[in-house]
Structure 1
Amino acid sequence: MIKKNVNLYCIYKMMKFISLFLFLTNLLCAQSQVSGNLKKLKYEELKNNFYNYYDNNKIEQSKSIAHFYLQKAKNEKNNLQIADGYILIHFNENYSNAFKYLDSVALVTKNLKGTIYPSQTYLMKGNLYYKYDNLKAALDNYILGLQYAKKQKNQKLTAYANMNIAYINSYIGKNLEAAKIFRYYLYRGNNITDDYQHNQIRIALISCYLEINKLDSADFLIKEGQESALIGKNKYNPNLYSYLSGTYNLKLKEYKTAIRKLSDAYIYFTNSKENTSANYALYNLGKAYEGEKNKEKVVETYIQLDSNVQKYDITFPELREAYTYLIDYYKEKNNTKKQLYYIDRFLKVDKKLDEQFQYLSTELPKKYDTPNLLQEKESIINELKNRKTILNVSVGFLLIILLLLSFLYYRSKKTEKQHRKIAQDLINSIEMKNLETPPVAQLITSPSPAIVQIETEEDKATEDKTSKITSEDITQLILKELEVFEAKELFLKKGITSSSLAKSIKTNTTYLSEVINTQKGKNFAAYLNDLRIDYALNRLIKDKKFRSYKLSVISEELGYNNDQAFSLAFKKKTGTTLSIYIKEIEKTHQSSINP
Structure 2
Amino acid sequence: MSKNVLILLFLLTTAVPIFSQHKNTFEQACERTSSITAYKNLPEAIKTADSLYTAARKPSEKIRSLILSSELYDHAGEIKKAISYSEDAHSLISEENDTERMVEVSRLLARQYRQVGLYERAKKYILKGLEASKQIADFQKSNEAAGLLNQEMAFYEMELGNYTNAIQFVEFSLQHFEKIESRNEDKTTAASYQVLGDVYFKLNNYPVAESYYRKAEQLLKKGSCTLGLVYNGLGGIRLKQKNWKDAEFYLKKAEKIADTSRSLKLKKAVYSNINDYYEGTGDNFKASLYAVKYVRAYDSIAARNHGVTSKNKEVIAGKSKGSGEFSKAKNVAIIILFLSCIALIIFFRTKQRKQRSKLRNIIRTQLSLIGNKNRSESPSESPEFSNISVEEIDEKDSEIDRKRNESLMTSETESKLLELLEEFEKGELYNNKGMSLSFLAGELNTNTKYLSYVINQHKSADFKTYINRLRINYIVDKLINDEKYRQYKISILADECGFSSHSKFAAVFKAVTDYSPSAYIKHIDTENQLNKNVHFREND
User: TM-score, normalized by length of structure 1?
Assistant: 0.45
User: TM-score, normalized by length of structure 2?
Assistant: 0.49
